[in-house]
Amino acid sequence: MRHPLDPMLGFHLVRTANLALRAVNAAYGDLGIRHPDGAVLLVIDANPGITQSSIGRLLNIQRSNIAPMVSRLVDRGWLERRPGKGKTIGMFLTESGQRIMPAIHAASTAGENMITTSIGADAYAATLETLKRLR
C-alpha cells in the first residue's frame, strides 16, 4: 500500500493540526465552546480592551467571522463590549468570564501536552522555532 503523501510535510502538518485541535476541543468539553472561542478569550484576557479587528489579525480570522463569535460569548455573560474611540469597541472579560479563564488555559494546553509527550520537549521547541519563522 503506497502512500504518496507520506513524504510531504504539508500532509503531516494538516494531520497533526487536526489531532491537536481535536484534543483541544475535547478538553473544552462541557464548557460548550470550541477552539476559536477559546483563542478569542485568551487574546482578550491578555489584551483587555482589544478590538475585534485586532483579534482577527492576531488569530488569522476575518472580522466578519469574529462578530458572531463574540456575540455568543457576550450572551453567555463572559464578555462585555465597551465603546471606545470613534466606531471602535473594546472587549473585556466580565467577572464571570475571568472566573472560567483557568479552565480555558488548562484546556488550551491539552493539544500542546499531547504533542509534547509524543515527540519530546526538544523536538517540540525545535519545531516551534521552525514554524515561527514562516510567513
Rule CB under 8 A: which residues touch a second copy?
Answer: 1-21, 24, 39, 42-43, 45-47, 50, 54, 58-60, 108-109, 111-112, 115, 118-119, 123-124, 126-128, 130-135
Q: What residues does 91 pair with on adjacent strands?
A: 50, 81
Identify which of residues 67 and 125 has a Cβ nearer to a second copy in the complex: 125
| Contact status: 85 vs DNA (CB under 7 A) | yes
Restricted to residues 35-74, the positions that interact with DNA (CB under 7 A) are 35-37, 51-54, 60-68, 70-71
Residue type, 87: K
Q: Residue 24, exposed/middle/buried by CB under 10 A (0-12, 13-18, 19+)?
A: buried
d(CA 51, CA 82): 10
Identify which of residues 5 and 126 has a Cβ nearer to DNA in the complex: 5
- Size of the chain in residues: 135
Q: What's the grid cell of residue 102?
A: 483557568
At 130 the three-state DSSP class reads: helix
Task: Tell me which H or E stretch contains 128.
Answer: helix 121-132
85's contact among a second copy, DNA, none, with CB below 5 to 8 A by partner kind, is DNA
63's contact among DNA, a second copy, none, with CB below 5 to 8 A by partner kind, is DNA
Chain residues in the site for DNA (CB under 7 A): 18, 22, 25, 34-37, 51-54, 60-68, 70-71, 81, 85-89
